[in-house]
Amino acid sequence: MKVRELNIDSEVIVFVIVNQDNEDVLEWEVEATQYAVLPDEEGNFFVKGLEISNTGIAEVYVGMILPERISEIVLKNNVLGQLTVLECIETSSSQYLPSVASECYGDYELYYVKSNPKIGIDVLKEGLQLSDYYGAIAEDLGYIYRDEECINEAIEAFKISEEIGVSSCYIYKELADLYDVLGNTPMKEEYNLKYIENGGL
């Protein structure tokens, strides 16, 4: 189907873009998928998402390029209820986030709504339940909790990642720093050692 036929109220969570050989995004071709989370694979997708603005929250579809987790396009209804395309969304006064967690590693701020962090946290917590490959999801959650100064929750999330294999040695450094905030010197030293043993400086 063409993007112009897509309905914002669709039950489909993730569409894969199968043909984008047209300058008009509405003429691109998409196919519905059964994905409940974004897979760790290469591809271009439109995924259910949310627009967070001063006037409230609205459903949209967010364009996602994987595995880089680049998001530059949004599909939303205009005031007449017609599907429109927004490009260069990073300059928008609204914030757009996928309402679907991603198994690809990337910038956690994609899910971080500073004015209401619970929105992204809820998306990621649901993703943890739905995914079999949840390391990236756990790390996204850990970083948001860290930024929100929810220290114990951040530790718990990063330890989920540790159980299945961290993306880099820097997760050990995050854990060391979090234990330092709690004043837990033995755990801080344990994770600093893991950080060094796994390539940290």
> Which residues, in sequence order, are CB contacts of 28 under 8 Å at separation 6+?
2, 3, 17, 19, 20, 22
β-pair partners for 45: 16, 64
Domain with CATH 1.25.40.10 in the chain: 101-201
Query: Rounded mean pLDDT of the chain?
Result: 94
Name the residue with tokens 């043909």. 19
Give CA angle at 44 (161, 35), nearest 5°: 55
Mean per-residue pLDDT, 150-174? 96
pLDDT digits (tens, 9 = 90+) for 123-160: 999 999 999 999 999 999 999 999 999 999 999 999 99
pTM: 0.91
pLDDT of residue 157: 98
**Is the pLDDT reported for residue 168 higher than 80?**
yes
Give the three-class secondary structure for 123. Answer: helix
pLDDT of residue 94: 87
Residues 102 and 123: their CA atoms lie apart, in Å, by 10
β-pair partners for 50: 59, 97
Q: Is the dihedral of CA 123, 151, 161, 42 positive or negative?
A: positive
Name the residue with tokens 């309402």. 99
Count helices and strands (H / E) in the chain. 5, 7
**H/E element, 121:** helix 118-130
Residues 153 and 142: their CA atoms lie apart, in Å, by 7
Count other C-beta atoms under 10 Å from residue 17's C-beta: 18
> Which residues, in sequence order, are CB contacts of 163 under 8 Å at separation 6+?
none
* Residue 104 near residue 138, CB atoms below 8 Å: no
pLDDT digits (tens, 9 = 90+) for 43-96: 999 999 999 988 899 999 999 999 999 988 999 998 888 999 988 777 678 899
**Is the pLDDT reported for residue 42 higher than 90?**
yes
> What is 101-201's CATH topology?
1.25.40
Backbone angles phi, psi at 27, to 5 degrees: -95, -5
**H/E element, 51:** strand 43-53
Tokens of 3: 């993007």
Mean per-residue pLDDT, 152-169? 96
